[in-house]
Amino acid sequence: MSQQVKGVIARGKGEPVQVETIVVPDPGPGEAVVKVQACGVCHTDLHYREGGINDDFPFLLGHEAAGVVESVGDGVTEVAPGDFVILNWRAVCGQCRSCRRGRPQYCFATHNAKQPMTLLDGTPLSPALGIGAFAEKTLVAAGQCTKVDPAASPAAAGLLGCGVMAGLGAAVNTGNVGRGDSVAVIGCGGVGNAAVMGARLAGAAKIIAVDIDDRKLATALRLGATHTVNSKAEDAVEAIRALTGGNGADVVIEAVGRPETYQQAFYARDLAGTVVLVGVPTPEMKLELPLLDVFGRGGALKSSWYGDCLPSRDFPMLIDLYLQDRLDLDAFVSETIALDQVEEAFARMHGGDVLRSVVVF
C-alpha cells in the first residue's frame, strides 16, 4: 500500500520551496523504499529550484542522503529491509558498452525507480537526480542503495552521496593524485575542500588551497591544505607557481566552474600536469584558450563527474576510513536542520556561510 509522507517541493522556477504531503508507492521490481535519516543541502538542489537543470517541475528535492531500507520489490538481492545505505545517483546497468569494458564508473545507462512519486492530487514529481530525499521516505532503484557500516553517522555518511564524493574523487580517482605530488585546489566550498581532503588521503606532499574567502581557506587548512592563497589579494597562478619552484602544480582541481578559474587552473599546472574540472558550469559559459598552449603544455585536461566514483567500491571503503578516524566527514556538517528549514539553508549556502546544512529526520 502506498504511503503519505512529508517532502520538500519546488513548484516553479525561483519560487520558495514548500513542505508538502507526497505519495510514495510500494516498491516494484528492482525498487526499494528507503526511510531517510539525513540529507545534505547541495548546490544541485538549488540549481533544480532555479530551473538550471531542466524545467520538469514540480521537483522533489534532495539527493545527498543516507537511511534505512524499509522494503524492496521483486528481484532485489543487493539490499534488504533494515540495511543502512547511502543513496547514489549512479546505479550501474552492467550491460552498456562502458560496463562491459570493465569501466562501470562511467556507466552510460544508469537507472532510477520506474514508478513516480506524486503529490496528493496525482501530479507526478521529478526527484532530484532520481532520488528525492528531502522526504521522510523515498522510492529509488535498488541499485541506488549502497550498503555501508551502520555505525556511521547518517548526517556524515550521506554527504558521500554527492558533494564530498565529487571532490574527493576528483583528486583520488580523476586526478590520480599520488604520493609526493603537488596539488592546487581552486574554490574551497564543500566540493573543493573535499578535494583537499582527497589529496591529503592520496599522499600529496603540497596542497595549495585557493579561494577569495578566508573562512573557506581556514577550513581547507584544517582538512589538509599545506598552503593557502587568497586570490582576491594576489594572483593565483603566480602564487601557485611560486609555491612549486616556479613550475606549477602536478594536479590542479578547479571546483568553481567558471571560465576564469579554469584558465587559472590551466596555467597553474606544471608541464605535462593535469587539470581536473569538477566545478559545474552553466550552459552559456564558453572557454577560450590558445590551441598552441594546449598542445605545448602536454598533460591532461579532465572533467570529473561524481568524482568518477563507483559507489559499491568507494562508499564502503570511505566509511571504513571514517570509522577509523582517518577521514573527517563530520567536518563537513556545519549544521543540522529540520525539513522545513531548507529554504533558509539555501540562503546560508549561497552566502558561503556553511559547508553543508544537513536535514536530519
- Strands annotated E in the chain: 3-10, 18-24, 31-40, 59-60, 64-72, 84-87, 118-119, 126-127, 137-141, 145-147, 182-186, 206-211, 227-230, 249-254, 269-277, 300-303, 335-337, 357-360
52 pLDDT above the threshold of 90: no
Q: Grid coordinates in use for 301? A: 585536461
In the chain, how long is the greatest CA-to-CA distance? 66
Query: pLDDT (tens digit, 9 = 90+) per residue, 131-183?
Result: 999 999 999 999 999 999 999 999 999 999 999 999 999 999 999 999 999 99
Q: Which residue has the cell 577560450?
A: 288
Q: What's the pLDDT at 357?
A: 97
- Compute the mean pLDDT over every residue in the chain, rounded to the nearest whole number: 96
Residue 282 pLDDT class (50, 70, 90 cuts):
confident
> Cis bond leading into 58, ω under 30°?
yes
Residue 37 pLDDT class (50, 70, 90 cuts):
very high
Query: pLDDT (tens digit, 9 = 90+) per residue, 161-175?
Result: 999 999 999 999 999
Contact 276, 251 (CB under 8 A): yes
Kindly state the percentage of the chain with pLDDT values over 70: 100
- pTM of the entire predicted model: 0.95
